[in-house]
Structure 1
Amino acid sequence: MYALTEGPSQGWGSPLIVALFVATVVLSAVWWFVERHVSQPLVDLKLFKIRAYNGALAANLTMNFTFAGMSFLLVLWLENARGYSAVEAGVLMLPATVGVFLFIPLGGRLAIRWGGRLPAVVGLVVASAGLTLLGSLGTRSSTEYLAVALIVIGLGLGLVSTPVANTTVGEVPIDLAGTAAGVFKMSSMLGGALGVAVLTAVARELTTRDAASVVEASGLSPADISHFRQALVNSSSFREAIASLPPDLGRTVQQAAVSAFSSGVADTMAVTAVLTFVGTAAVFLLWPRRRKADATVAGPGPEDRPNP
């Protein structure tokens, strides 16, 4: 997480960032080795032999990645580029929550009738469509347009929520239920943290690219330019960086930064749509179709739990 957060400012090729990524891979491999060989592992790896569980886990990770990263960036955009207060920005994000609550019951009914795979895949595709709409955001986009896109995203994520939760507790053996619930909760936290870290890094890179030419020609010192590049998530530091400039030049630089930030956020939403669709493809491949014999079962019972 630290490497993803600091990569844009430290440089992706810096020794610290590279070392952290290498350490991540090495420690993950060590963890896997330990869990395979200890008598009482923290996570019983037999859990990951259950394909439906793996599909639900991938869907949950994708859902939280998308929602957390999108929400974090859009709130920053509403405050820094559109001038809304923190409370106003929070209120403008409510349509996504409304969409989630509207479609949570439908997701549950579809899961009972067809299994969790169908609503999870359809929901993520719908969320990708909403994110694609956000890819057209600009400094003059109306709040109505934003609300429509957020409702679409919320509707999609609402379809996903119940099926993945039901699958993680209903389609695993009793002796793995505690582990399954713990790993599922971990995937929610990891997905959200990754969403914020990855999408913020992408937005910072895109914003810096779009604003670089104007800022570097503005008369800012190298130190101030560096300050600007690290100010994506802290608008007050950017204001401090341009406070010493003549008013006209300061306004030009600030307008360039706002325009670049809006463009960067919109492009990041488009990237998020693609990443969400990739996650959808993974869910589609990992999560097996529901057997016809199970289609009439109202809910999973002990006899329906696969034995890994």
Structure 2
Amino acid sequence: MNRAADITGAAVRQKRLTSILFNVCVGQFIVGLDQRALLVALPTLTVTFSTSLTTIQWVLLIYDLLLIGTVITVGRLGDLFGRRRFYASGFLVFVLSSALCGFAQTAGQIILFRGLQALGGAMISANGRAIASIAFPASERGKAMGFASMAFHVGFLTGPTLGGFLIYTIGWHWIFFIILPIGMWGAFLALKLLEESKEDVKGTSVDLPGAILLMLTCSLFIFAMNEIPHVGWRDPLVSGMLTLSALALALFVFVELRSAMPILSFSLFRIRLFTTSMLSLVFITSTQSAISFLMPFYLQDVLRFSPTQMGWIIIANSVVIVMVAPLAGWLSDRMGSRLLCTIGSGIIVIGQYFIASLSIDASIPRIILPLLLIGFGWAIFNSPNQSAIMGSVPRDKLGTASGMNTTTARTGGAMGVALSATLFTYGLAAAGMTRAQIESPQSWSDSPEIFVHSFNHTVHIVNFFTILSVLFSAVRGRRHE
């Protein structure tokens, strides 16, 4: 009798966990889908709204600025006032803003509504991982993070193809409208399946000054990083934004150390596993973004590949991630994160070494194999690292930790693009190219040897940061239950 009851109880529990994980995966999927589908729509939006590329890039930039600026805050608010509430609300905000984007009549409107969409994306990203971390025991947390990572990359892979099809057949509006049924379904599942979880803290209040200063710190820094590839480090605007970001950071630290209920508790950084996992993440994402930034130029301007060929090559590593991420998460539940993250980041070092030795006439297999290796390494690293981050912090800081995971990854990505662009252009200048030639992709095609030489040196240099990720992975603390 008791055995039958135990079996029934275990089956009910497993069904509940599967439902929770599925709902979290829906959130990760639509965030990844939207992020990639919009990329293929930028040329169409530029023509539709009769605007410039400089203006239309804000459709992407405003999302990053506000997502990074708010994700820690909404994660903390979820900890305090209810993760289910903020997660379900995130779906509704994402759906509403997607509908508004689809009905936008001007570039200014779509930029404004994308800012609102970023808030919904932040609420989904921060609270979804926190909900999964609470629902799953430590022995299964890695598996949950692995499936969440897989769902994001499925959306990431689907986005360009689906976006291109929708634009070609029924119009650009539908890259936003396609989100509506998925998002409403996600909100319905969240409200139906999830139990509310929040921390019982007396005297709970919102640290509004800290939230504003954190948003300014992150947004100003990311804006400056975005401008560096276009205008350089010495541009007055870049210098001004970096200075203001540093001042906002100093004020943020001052305010948080004196706050009774801070947005970001600096005590988290005294947790060795948490800190080393974050450092591993920021270094590895900086090199990953550097490769992602430079590779399309190499494929298009040196090897003269078509956009279709280029697209299939670039998604090679994401295909591997989709297949391997759940397995890596499952392994991390049994082995911990240290060995897997060290091996994964080490594999990325090897893959990037082979990327850094590409020639002006490299074959498609010679390009794809290192990308597959990098994707495999990232899958082995990412799920265990996320599990380590979420498992190392107290329960009442899970939303904060999840938000910091997103902020750290995106900040590392922005830094990697800025650094690689600087190193690459410096290499072109050192080879004798004028400023006008450096800014002209046609000049890169005319001088493929110079391009490849600078490309190779840039990748070798940024690969050093992946080596740092290997080291921090190796010295991280043991699994924290």
* Mapped pair 1:108 → 2:329: yes
Tell me if structure 2 keeps the 8 A contact 1:55–1:284. no
2:477 — aligned with what?
288
Aligned equivalent of 1:227: 436
Amino acid at match of 1:80: D
Give, in whole Å, the separation in 1 of the partners of 2:230 and 2:417: 16
Residues 61 and 191 in structure 1, CA contact (< 8 A), matched pair in contact too = yes
Q: Structure 1 stretches of 5 or more lacking a match?
A: 216-224, 240-252, 291-299
- Equivalent of 2:341 in 106, 109, 120: 120
TM-score, length-normalised on structure 2? 0.50
For 2:272 and 2:454, how far apart are their aligned partners in 1?
37
**Deviation for aligned residue 1:58:** 2.0
Shift of 1:167: 1.9
Tell me what 1:272 maps to. 462
Match of 1:63 in 2: 284
Q: Kindly tell me: are residues 29 and 280 of structure 1, through their superposed partners in 2, closer, same or farther at Cα, counting changes over 3 Å?
A: farther
Q: CA deviation at 1:277?
A: 0.3
Normalised by the length of structure 1, the TM-score is: 0.75
Change (3 A) 1:193 1:4: closer
Matched, 1:95 2:316: yes
295, 316, 323: which one aligns with 1:74: 295
Tell me the CA shift for residue 118 of structure 1. 1.3
Tell me how far apart the structure 2 counterparts of residues 275 and 123 of structure 1 sit (CA, whole Å).
Answer: 14
SS at match of 1:169: helix
Query: Is the aligned partner of 1:45 residue 2:266?
Result: yes
The residue type paired with residue 454 of structure 2 is: G
Q: Distance in 2 between matches of 1:107 and 1:56?
A: 16
Q: Tell me which residue corresponds to 1:263.
A: 453
Change (3 A) 1:195 1:9: closer
Q: Does 1:180 align with 2:370?
A: no
Gaps of 5+ in 2: 1-221
- Equivalent position SS for 2:262: coil
Cα distance in 2 for residues equivalent to 1:16 and 1:138: 37
CA offset at residue 21 of structure 1? 4.2
Instruction: Call closer, same or farther: CA 1:55–1:254 in 2, change over 3 Å.
Output: closer
Distance 1:128 1:91 in 2: 23
SS where residue 455 of structure 2 aligns? helix
**AA of the residue aligned to 1:228:** Q
1:15 CA displacement: 5.7
The answer as to 2:252 corresponding to 1:31 is yes
Q: 1:9 to 1:163 in 2, by over 3 A?
A: closer
Is it true that 1:203 corresponds to 2:424 in the alignment?
Answer: yes
Partners of 2:288 and 2:330 in 1: CA distance: 23
**1:192-214: CA deviation from partner (whole Å, max 9, x where unpaired):** 2222222122112112222x1xx
Letter of the aligned partner of 1:129 in structure 2? I
Higher share in helix: 2
Cα distance change of structure 1 residues 28 and 188 upon mapping to structure 2, 3 Å threshold: same
User: Which secondary structure state, in structure 1, belongs to the residue aligned with residue 378 of structure 2?
Assistant: helix
After TM superposition, the structure 1 = structure 2 runs for residues 206-217 of structure 1, keeping only pairs within 5 Å, are: 206-210=427-431, 212=432, 215=433
Picking from 271, 289, 304, the partner of 1:83 is 304
The answer to whether the 8 Å contact 1:99/1:153 transfers is no
- Correspondences of 1:124-135 after superposition (within 5 Å): 124-135=345-356
CA RMSD of aligned residues (A): 2.5
Looking at structure 2, the residues matched to 133 and 104 of structure 1 have their Cα atoms a distance apart, in angstroms, of 23
Identity %: 23
In the TM superposition, residue 22 of structure 1 has moved relative to its aligned partner by: 4.1
Q: How many residues align?
A: 260
Distance 1:265 1:49 in 2: 38
SS of equivalent to 2:461: helix
Structure 1 residues 84-135: Cα deviation after superposition (integer angstroms, max 9, x where no partner): 2233211112321233234323422331222111111111011011101111
**1:32-58 deviation per Cα after TM superposition (whole angstroms, max 9, x unaligned):** 222211223221222222221122222
CA distance in 1, matches of 2:356, 2:284: 18
Greater relative contact order (Cα < 8 A, sep 6+): 1
Equivalent residue number for residue 143 of structure 2: none
SS at match of 1:39: coil
> How far apart in 1 are the matches of 2:269 and 2:301?
43
